[in-house]
Chains A and B, each alone.
Chain A
């Protein structure tokens, strides 16, 4: 089960057709986003008493200065990891809905390890802490995969429920036993200086985990499209029965994508601690798991597409924050716009409309 090279992606597909499919997808996505932005403008016209200012800050705010821009990119980092985590699961037709709990537990465990070894060398201790965060995420998601493999328990619901319980238990740990007694905030103590990742885009909080996010996307792309494991995962995603007859160990590929998915979610939490927050705050990873699903969808489960999709999502959040600070709308407007994008991206009929037209014209 090594990393054996297999034939290139879509080997038999004529290049021209492949190109046109890509074009239709890109075109459809552009239209989708266009509609979403028009609806967003409409929403702000209705909700705001000073719509011009609100719309201006919503769209331009994230680019207003280095601070906003860097923070927007920084907010995209965990979304890249969770988006990758979801795309590997969805591409293999297994569902991981426990992202929230996996990110949060990754963050907590990374913090706990950093706090437990306060005097170790930064590189060694930091790697250990991240590995622990990755491990707990992989374990939580892997459990759901294992139950599915062993007894056929629906992994979609079990991963969601396990995550729901974990979030509450971590809330208890952060506000109770692990609370920092020196201040009144609901947070653990800060991790040691040597574990904090370098923030290279001051005054924003953008740190070097951005590069790890890019590396992760490239590695996942390579894994999915150029390795034996990736090939078999994708085959199971396309048709599990067919893969079984083809001699693929189907049950293994119910657990593996879950483990990878959980590991990436755990990393999202770990980097959020070591790069940005330097401690585990109560519910500070809220939304990262859910938004990862949206990011993966916009990216059509392509690991490289996850990068721009994550930035788009972070942009919407940053825009809503800017509009909230400088105008009279509330931040949750971002959730409404994101849900519209969600609907439009998954509405297949919009895409097939273009495809149909094209075929008729040809």
Chain B
């Protein structure tokens, strides 16, 4: 009994925490499959975080905030894509530029609009609705773990499911994967591989916008650089998840759990916050190295 009271909230929180990772990683999967290393996930998420909360405050509607936030993120993603694909920028560097732009622009705009470079609270925004189904909540363990999260948590699962269907069961998905395997093959079929890459980047803009919205609307506040490395961790989750949706789900849960556990450890074990915050990085890099060792020896065997 004692174990359950400790473990269940831990996993419950992990499910909530993993949502931005999962959304960003789902979008990143599209770009990854078309053969691009999309390190702009971080910046796109930050753009989404800022604009969704600002628009939600301005329109007084959560839904409008999320939609306009996503639109803004997709616009930045479009710019990033056009520069990378049509102006032939190195996508790695234009991705860094996008991250730099996002961290600068959000603070500049926050200062311009609210005269404040720190945490900006929005009192007039309602909280994200929480799903509560008493009947399902009674299911032991599973009900406690999966019910009672905010609505975006469930949206992220739907997005992942739709992404899996699109990638594996539609002509678009097939061509998308084909682009990653060989651009020339796709071009020889009379299709435009660069177009698929651009679409993949815009899709990643969509999911990162949603991921960012989840971060700020959950707090009803904007904190400078609120994403704090989540986009990078999402990128790692794509690799650890072996570039498939189920793998990504598992990898994101592991990161969510790591963070949830650090939050718990901070309170329970009286460890310094900085050391706790370093945990996700250490766990991630250890997982990455472990995974590559495993792959290395499997390839040899």
Contacts and interface: CB of A to CB of B under 8 A. Distances in A.
Interface of A: 47, 95, 147, 150-154, 156-158, 160-162, 164-165, 168-169, 171-172, 175-176, 290, 293, 297, 329-330, 332-336, 338-340, 342-343, 345-350, 352
A347 B274 contact: no
Interface stretch (B146-154, B205-213, B228-236, B244-252): B228-236
Nearest to A170: B274
A291 B63 CA distance: 37
A255 to B, nearest CB: 15
A333 B285 contact: no
A150 B98 CA distance: 32
A197 to B, nearest CB: 30
B260 to A, nearest CB: 18
A346 B275 contact: no
Interface of B: 37, 83, 86-90, 92-94, 96-98, 100-101, 103-105, 107-108, 111-112, 117, 229, 232, 235-236, 239, 272, 274-275, 277-278, 281-282, 284-285, 288-289, 292-293, 295-296
A169 B107 contact: no
B288 A336 contact: no
Given A164-B232, A290-B96, A342-B96, 18 more contacts: A47-B112, A95-B92, A153-B288, A157-B288, A161-B236, A162-B281, A162-B285, A164-B281, A169-B278, A176-B272, A330-B107, A330-B111, A332-B111, A335-B105, A343-B83, A343-B94, A348-B87, A348-B88
Contacts of A161: 232, 236, 281, 284-285, 288
Contacts of A339: 97-98, 100-101, 104
Contacts of A168: 274-275, 277-278, 281
B117 A147 contact: no
A349 B281 CA distance: 37
Nearest to B236: A157
A290 B100 contact: yes
A218 B288 CA distance: 37
B104 A334 contact: yes
Contacts of B292: 147, 151-154
B240 to A, nearest CB: 10
Given A169-B274, A332-B111, A342-B96, A152 B296 contact: yes
Given A161-B236, A168-B281, A172-B275, A151 B289 contact: yes
B108 A346 contact: no
Given A158-B288, A330-B107, A347 B239 contact: no
Contacts of A158: 285, 288-289
A150 B297 CA distance: 11
Nearest to B100: A339
Contacts of B275: 168-169, 172
6 A-B pairs with least C-beta separation? A335-B104, A342-B97, A172-B274, A339-B101, A165-B281, A347-B87
A160 B97 CA distance: 16
A165 B236 contact: no
18 contacts: A151-B293, A153-B289, A154-B239, A161-B285, A165-B282, A168-B278, A169-B274, A172-B275, A290-B100, A330-B107, A332-B104, A335-B104, A336-B104, A339-B101, A339-B104, A342-B96, A347-B89, A350-B87
Among B101, B108, B236, B285, max chain A CB count under 10 A is at: B285
Contacts of A176: 272
Given A330-B107, A342-B93, A346-B97, A171 B274 contact: yes
Nearest to B97: A342
